[in-house]
Amino acid sequence: MTASERDKMAAGEWYSCLVDELEALRMTARVAVHQHNTMAPIERGDMASALRVLFGAVADDVFIEAPFHCSYGINIHLGARVYLNAGCTILDSGRVAIGAGTMLGPNVQIYCAEHHRDAVLRGQGLEVAKPVTIGADVWIGGGAIILGGVTIGDGAIVGAGSVVTKDVAAGAVVAGNPARPLRRAST
C-alpha cells in the first residue's frame, strides 16, 4: 500500500503539500484560526474552542493571544501555562511541542516545512516536515524565528529577533541571526 501524502508528512518524508487531503486539513485550521482571531476576548477566553479541539494536545491553562496563525493545528502540542503573545505563527507541518511554562513573545514564528531545493520539485509542492521541540520554562523574545528540526532545551532564552537554526542547550541564552550563545560578562 502506498503511503498518503499526510502519512509521508507525519513520517518526515518528502511529500506534496498540494493534495486535496492536506488542503482540507489546512482549511479546517483556517476556520478555527478565524474563530479565534475574530471572537471578542470576553467570549474567546484563553483560546477559541475550535483551536482547542484542533490541536494535537493542549493543557487547560494555555493562553493564546489574537491574532494567531497555524497551518494544520493537529501537530501542535502545548503544555501547561504556555503563553503565545499576539501575532504568533506556527506552520506545523511537523510536530511542534512546547513545554510547560514556556512563553513566546509577539510575532514569534515557527516553521517546520523545508521546501525542495530543486525549483521544479519545489514548484510541484514537494517539502519535508521537520519537528520543533521547545522545552519547559523557555522564553522566546518577540519576532524570533525557529526553523524546523530545532530543539530548544528547558529554561533557555532566545533573544528578540533571533533566527534559531540549530539546537539550543538547556539554560542557554542565544541571540542573533543566526542565533548564537551570548557571552556572559565576568563578575
Catalytic residues: 115
Query: How far apart (Å, rounded) are the C-alpha atoms in residues 160 and 176?
Result: 8
- Distances in Å between the Cα of 160 and the Cα atoms of 140, 144, 163, 169 are 7, 5, 9, 17
Q: Please list the residues that pair with 90 across neighbouring strands.
A: 70, 110
Q: What order of strands is seen across the sheet that includes strand 15-16?
A: 15-16, 126-129, 113-115
Q: Please list the residues that pair with 168 across neighbouring strands.
A: 152
